[in-house]
Chains A and B, each alone.
Chain A
């Protein structure tokens, strides 16, 4: 709740003190921030009758001075330029400027310079600079996400911009929560270290006055970790509702774009999956596919009951009741068709790509041992014609990550087979992945085979059997959260920044994953929070990954590092 509520509070405060008809002007990033927590009808109730983008509004010449302009934009230099022009040639009666992050003095000076007609009434910083999709999960929706994989020398200015955006986002989250955290980072990741240090500098030195909040008993913890410590989770196929939709179709800002899929009625081509607005989704987003099917059937049955009772209208009272219940009925109908459409599409994809078969092997690779059996299974699937290219690639990658050091000959054989079977495969991608996220680079115990306790635990689990073969994988994040809960996060692996120190356990933890999070991990966090262990976890990342996105980032990084090495 906490992140979504903060952003909604910011927007409410922006709009409530300004009376009269308003126009809300956003930029391409804040439009996501706002759309995901605030609906159009709520805007209308606050008398905001026009929403525009700062880019397109420059082109129009029409003057609407009966409207008051409310700007909510990021304080980037491009936005400030456009804003300067628009203030200098004002179209609206009043201008109220809200920035989603910290302004530099020079920027304020420039704006004041352009405000010749004194139309600006207020300039405020409201720190809603992140996309709060779920109660405990946020993202920054960054475009060039692959930069974290490259060493700093390749593109120093690009990496600086990347780090700046991340630091801004993290700072905004803590300002919204009104906390100043103790910061730890993953030792093996340069990008994580850099971001942690720059965040500390911002919070404790540059803007220490702004971050000087009331100290609570135990400081919250910010943990900056790297995606490459757990490359397995984004590669796996998912079987819980929210994660599965993102993996198979794609979920962007809680919207699903179904236009690519066949012929659907007009109102089902783009749908919204938001836990805030959809009660069915809220109770089913973390359930696995089988259970979802049953729940949907139950929902459809309920709906059919209601529809039938609406059919026999005998008396005036019945008519009145029907008219009364009509909006509810229509809403229910829309909801039912949305979920039925989604599940149908996903079933079709599962069938077409033989995902049941593929995913079983994937889960075995991720969770269970047995190199020989794994090799057999992967080879079989590579030979199977109905398995798609991307699935073959994923299988080989998972195998390589797990059995990197065992039996190199068989590993080479798999690489060759992959190259021969998949014409679109870019050679060397698996090796690149190993270079980035191989066993030497990783801190955490990804496969539970590093220390004896974990090995024993795995053996016990193997003997006991699992409830569901397809959801047996636990992301590495789960173990990290457990360590934090027990107060046993190793200083060697996750050092503190500067001279920070934390006694005891923190009560609030924000984990930021450089490189992106997955919905499987956000599910893990939500379930952990539901157990009420006394610690509240919040997860955030530079993007929300599925296997397609993760592979795209890998390819992009590989392409740049190759062209870089040519130049060198």
Chain B
């Protein structure tokens, strides 16, 4: 498929226009500073012109003129909001969980192979890996919930989409995680048979292990339930970009209306009235008290 890159032409125009704009701008600054404060006229012009001629204007030094009337103010690269860090942390956790799952797969394979030893350390390894993975997934889930904090309306749609994206990743990860559980169950049955033959004290251990499996299945069910509410159905209307744009537009408008209503209600609210009346009364009482002290 054909494309055409117009960036060079664009940059050429931009540079030529910038050089045309620069002398004009410095002359206008001269006018502004002449009509402004008389002191420091010289240094202002000098600094301004050097900052304009500086090619890396995105980190231009703060000029001494009033930033309000400067339209060519430096574009400061804003810090992303705090929740971006949370989402990045979640991605990192999911990555870690994925590598651990790969390890777990290897450990399973190793444990299922016939070996000379008791296989106890393999079991421990598997258990610890499983617990770590569950812990990581739970932590990601908690952090996901944290993402739904208050913020501006537009920010919230970005946040919601980030949430959906992370959900996708978690679900993709989960689908790979679940098969491992079955293997573990199978393996347990084998060991179950062996242990029954061995005796009663081993049957207690078996009970413990069954408990652990039940617990992990319960955990899994719980997490699945929580996250399945946020699953994106592929191929349905919810997965269409144009549908989401329309919905965002209407919900943002609705949200604005609600906010305005809330603001109005709060202002005319009885609470504010009450509070202010009480405060005024307090002041009056205080005044009376002082007057009483003075005239007594």
A interface with B by C-beta (< 8 Å): 6, 9-10, 13, 21, 23, 26, 31-32, 34-35, 38-41, 43-45, 47-53, 56, 60, 62-67, 90, 93, 102-103, 105, 108-109, 111-113, 115-127, 175-178, 210, 213, 253, 255, 267, 270-272, 274, 277-278, 316-317, 319-320, 323-324, 326-327, 330-331, 334-335
| A45:B165 contact, CB within 8 angstroms | yes
Question: Smallest CB–CB gap between A43 and chain B, Å?
Answer: 7
Excluding A118-B14, A316-B213, A319-B217, 20 further A-B contacts by CB distance (< 8 Å) are A10-B1, A21-B158, A26-B245, A31-B242, A35-B242, A40-B232, A43-B241, A44-B232, A50-B157, A51-B241, A65-B75, A66-B78, A66-B79, A108-B13, A117-B75, A127-B3, A176-B1, A277-B234, A278-B235, A331-B235
User: CB-defined interface of B234-247 with A at 8 Å, one 1/0 digit per residue?
Assistant: 11111111111100
B10 and A108 within 8 A (CB): yes
- Residues of A near B79 (CB, < 8 A) are 66
Structural contact, A317 and B182, CB atoms closer than 8 A: yes
Q: How far is the CB of A50 from chain B (nearest CB, A)?
A: 5
Set A62, A120, A122: member contacting B152, Cβ < 8 A: A62
Check B245–A31 contact: CB distance below 8 A. Answer: yes
We find that the number of chain B residues with CB closer than 8 angstroms to chain A is 66
Contact B161 A49 (CB under 8 A): yes
Bound Cα distance A539, B62 (Å): 59
How far does the Cβ of B139 sit from chain A's closest Cβ, in whole Å?
21
A178 contact set on B, CB distance < 8 A: 1-2
- CB-CB contacts below 8 Å: B118-144 with A: none
Q: Shortest CB–CB separation between residue A249 and chain B, in angstroms? A: 15
Q: How far is the CA of A302 from the CA of B271 in the complex (A)?
A: 61
Q: Measuring CB to CB, which residues of chain B are less than 8 angstroms from any residue of chain A?
A: 1-7, 9-11, 13-14, 17-18, 21, 57-58, 71-72, 75-81, 84, 152, 154-155, 157-158, 161-162, 164-165, 168, 171, 175, 178-179, 181-182, 185, 213, 217, 220-221, 224, 228, 231-245, 249
Instruction: Tell me the complex Cα distance, A126–B154, Å.
Output: 28
Q: A40-B239, A41-B239 are in contact. Are A175 and B2 (CB under 8 A)?
A: yes
Min distance, Cβ A206 to any Cβ of chain B, angstroms? 14
B84: nearest chain-A partner, CB-CB: A66
Residue among A43, A63, A121, A335 with max Cβ neighbours from chain B (10 Å): A43
In the assembled complex, the CB of A314 is this many whole angstroms from the nearest CB of chain B, namely 14
Please tell me if the beta carbons of B2 and A317 are within 8 angstroms of each other in the complex. no
**In the complex the two chains form, what is the Cα distance from A334 to B1 in whole Å?**
36
Select one of A41, A63, A65, A90 contacting B168, CB under 8 A: A41
Question: Is A323 touching B245 in the complex (CB atoms < 8 A)?
Answer: no
Verify B241–A39 contact, CB threshold 8 A.
Answer: yes
In whole angstroms, how far apart are the Cα atoms of A255 and B237 in the complex?
Answer: 8
Instruction: Check B217 against A62 for contact (C-beta < 8 Å).
Output: no
Q: Tell me, in angstroms, the Cα distance from A118 to B217 when the chains sit together.
A: 55
Asked, given contacts A49-B162, A320-B181, A331-B234, whether A123 binds B75 with beta carbons under 8 Å apart, the answer is no
How far does the Cβ of A103 sit from chain B's closest Cβ, in whole Å? 6
